[in-house]
A and B are shown apart, each in its own frame.
Chain A
Amino acid sequence: MTIEDQIKHYMAENILFSDNGFEYEHDVSFIQEGILDSIGVLELVDFVKNTFGVEVYDQEVTIENFDSVDKLADYIRRKLAVNENQAANEKMPFAKSLSA
């Protein structure tokens, strides 16, 4: 299941209460289409934290990161990449000190 599919599945089940899945294109704005309300944004943040194990800071909860399936998937990929880099650095403290 791709990140996009996971987002769509969550949105359909928990935000839209839809039996027909997520019926929008990946670039459709959640806010402009009324797909997300304020509480929905908080629920989406909770979903991202729990499903992908990434830390979401308040200043990152923006339209640029959370307003469509595409934007959110990109954001999650960026956060996962940061997590992977950090994990790699922790495993190789020698490489970290070299890069510093």
Chain B
Amino acid sequence: MVLRCFPLEFRLKHALAAARFCARLWTSLSLGERSQITHNLLSLDKKLSKDNLSRIISSHYETHSWNFVINDLLPHLNSSQIKSFSEVHGLKHLEDALGKGRGSVLLSAHFGAHAYIILAVLRAYGCPVKAVLGQELRPEGNASRFYRKTIDPVRSSPRRVLPILDRGLVPPTDIAAPLKRNEALFMLGDMHLTEKQVALERQVLPVPFLWGTARVRTGPMRLPKLLGAPVLPTFSVRRNDRVIVEIEKALNLSHGRSRQDLTADMRLYLKRLEKRIRSAPDQWGHIRHENIPNWIRPCPGLGNTRIHSDKTKLGPQFI
């Protein structure tokens, strides 16, 4: 909030320094969450040294803080300002996919930059893209005043300037419209739903992921399959004060829409995400969440105790 007193260019130039300051503050205040990340990281790689663990955790908080700082700026930035801190690789893949005339789904994840930032970057580079995203969950009553008044409004502020279709609120035909116009549709495919959510949403399938099973929504795969649109995994990586958005080659999807077909197709996408997580675990947004135990085998060294101090209870919808 203090940063808002400074001119836009100054804030953009010093975004990384601001993120590092916030990250240090956040790391020192959330000891429970650090334990959760340590637990999850050791499950990914038991041989991680103490130094490496510490480096990954710092980088993780830095990425989240940088996302937060950029999210606050995003509604005020023009295309050239957005381009000044970003790169897009693989635009040729999108071009090829759109060449088929059936639109394209850019299937992303809670990895690297925030979904809003990826969307803004793609648009700054001229991609005809809209996003289908769930609504931001409002913080529950027990969330701190600081969270409700500061964190939450900043998190969701870019929504007002980005072309986002609210999943569950807009008519279904509106969701299909961009693909029918041969545009790209940005979606997140890595939501792991809780038992409670699965009881409310039936279109969820268990798909192998890491060492366990993720219960994922199948919508992001069913829509392109219904309309014959190619699916291109799209990930981002934050490196210091830059974000690199990488559009991968289209997935080689099965031809049917049965349970087996969808499971195999979601697995293809999750395999690509797994590869990313293994090479840069600090970039994975869910690494600090306790709602991913099914993805991560309990680590014997730490027992089954899970310490978590997320007062906001935003659950798996956290973006």
Residues of A within 8 A of B (CB): 13-17, 34-35, 37-43, 46, 58, 61
Contact = CB atoms under 8 A, between A and B. Distances in A.
Given A14-B257, A17-B259, A37-B219, A42 B202 contact: no
Interface string B58-86: 00000000000000000000000000000
A43 B222 contact: yes
Contacts of A13: 258
A15 B203 contact: yes
B53 interface: no
Given A38-B175, A39-B175, A46-B226, 8 more contacts: A37-B201, A38-B167, A39-B218, A39-B219, A41-B172, A42-B173, A43-B222, A61-B172
Interface of B: 167-168, 170-173, 175-176, 200-203, 205, 217-219, 222-223, 226, 257-259, 262
Contact of A34 (B170, B173, B202, B226): B202
Nearest to A44: B172
27 contacts: A14-B258, A16-B202, A17-B205, A17-B259, A37-B168, A37-B203, A37-B219, A38-B167, A38-B170, A38-B172, A38-B219, A39-B172, A39-B203, A39-B218, A39-B222, A39-B223, A39-B226, A40-B203, A41-B172, A42-B172, A42-B173, A42-B175, A42-B226, A43-B226, A43-B257, A61-B172, A61-B173
A72 to B, nearest CB: 14
A17 B266 CA distance: 15
Given A38-B168, A42-B172, A15 B257 contact: no
Nearest to A16: B202
Shortest beta-carbon contacts, A-B, top 8: A41-B172, A17-B259, A38-B172, A39-B219, A34-B200, A39-B222, A58-B173, A39-B223
Given A13-B258, A14-B257, A39-B219, A34 B201 contact: yes
Contacts of A37: 168, 201, 203, 217, 219
B132 to A, nearest CB: 8
Contacts of B173: 42, 58, 61
Contacts of B262: 17
A34 to B, nearest CB: 5
A46 B170 CA distance: 19
A42 B262 CA distance: 16
Contacts of B172: 38-39, 41-42, 61
Contacts of B168: 37-38
Contacts of A17: 202-203, 205, 259, 262
A37 B222 CA distance: 11
Q: Most chain-B CB neighbours within 10 Å: which of A16, A17, A46?
A: A17
A35 B217 CA distance: 13
A43 B168 CA distance: 15
A61 B176 CA distance: 13
A15 B202 contact: yes
Q: Most chain-A CB neighbours within 10 Å: which of B172, B222, B223?
A: B172
Contacts of A35: 202
A27 to B, nearest CB: 18
Contacts of B219: 37-39
B41 to A, nearest CB: 33
Q: Most chain-A CB neighbours within 10 Å: which of B176, B203, B259?
A: B203
Contacts of B200: 34
